[in-house]
Structure 1
Amino acid sequence: MERSLSIIKPDGVSRGLIGEVIRRFEKNNIKIVGMKLLKMTKTEAEGFYMVHKERPFFDSLTDFMSSGPVVVMVLEGEDVIDKNRRLMGATNPGDADEGTIRKDFATEIEKN
């Protein structure tokens, strides 16, 4: 049994997509074993995304992730890491497969 972290970002929360994302997880036999609505501070976002510190998008990413509430979920299930990645789709929504969360709901690559 694996566990994975998944975050519904501020634009997904503000657009009312929480229920649809949860529905897709449940439909694919992914169990949500923990969930919390929270608002990250800029400092918390910088810490979470520290792996991207040297990337040109770091400031815009951390600004975005601290711009509003997010839903943080702990997912559990067989092959949940791979299942979650397949459900989410490619990082660039333009490259994501039809029916993936990013293809269906992402509006731009920096807000995916």
Structure 2
Amino acid sequence: MVEKTFIMVKPDGIQRALLGEIIDRFENKGLKLVGLKLLKMDDELAQKHYSEHKNKEFFENLVKFITSGPVVAMVWEADNAVYIGRKLVGPTTPNEAGPGTIRGDFCINTQFNLIHASDCIENARKEIALFFDEDEILSYEKSIRHWLGLDI
């Protein structure tokens, strides 16, 4: 079933110039990028995005970190996009993330774990709606072969 997932490269991922590598991994896996924007989150958006952590001791530091620099918000589409996105990213705690995952290959600290990935379809829908208007999510044929009439 084709679905959409929300992926966000956090300020540490941007600072470390890993955006291209991260996008490559999603494209190489076969997901289709249908939404992308560079932004600096304000406190209100950060608190909404991380609302499930509001009563946890790390919430204030999480908001402070995510608003400290630019992020790249993305919407990816594929069959089982949420599941695939989580597998590519790896577990939240980098020392639990295996080699070949984004966090396993590039992270050593849970606070600075480079990337956010939706954990279920319902949360993907909520997160996408927080960052994107409906008209900012594109629909297009992925293959240039289609445009050239070569895959008929």
Q: TM-score, normalised by structure 2?
A: 0.72
Alpha-carbon RMSD across the aligned residues, in angstroms, is 0.8
The list of structure 1 runs, each at least 4 consecutive aligned residues, that deviate by more than 2 angstroms after superposition, is none
Cα distance in structure 1, aligned partners of 2:51 and 2:92: 18
Correspondences of 1:19-58 after superposition (within 5 Å): 19-58=20-59
Supply the AA of the counterpart residue of 1:29: G
Task: Tell me if the contact between 2:95 and 2:108 (Cα under 8 Å) persists in the aligned partners.
Answer: no
State percent identity of aligned pairs: 45
| Paired position in structure 1 for 2:100 | 99
Within-5 A mapping of 1:68-107: 68-107=69-108
SS of aligned partner of 1:109: coil
Farther-moved stretch of structure 1 (11-20 vs 40-49): 40-49
Larger Rg: 2
Distance 1:28 1:73 in 2: 15
5+ long unaligned stretches in structure 2: 114-152
How far does residue 55 in structure 1 lie from its aligned partner after superposition? 1.1
What is the TM-score normalised by the length of structure 1? 0.97
Cα deviation, 1:47-97, whole Å, max 9, x if unaligned, reads 211111011110111100000000000010011111000000011000001
Work out the CA distance in 1 between the residues paired with 2:59 and 2:105. Answer: 25
Does the residue aligned with 1:62 lie in a helix, a strand or coil? Answer: helix
SS of 1:35's equivalent in the other structure is: strand
Alpha-carbon separation, structure 2, partners of 1:46 and 1:19: 27
Unmatched tracts of structure 1, length 5 or more: none
The count of residues paired between Structure 1 and Structure 2 equals 112
Q: Distance in 1 between matches of 2:108 and 2:33?
A: 25
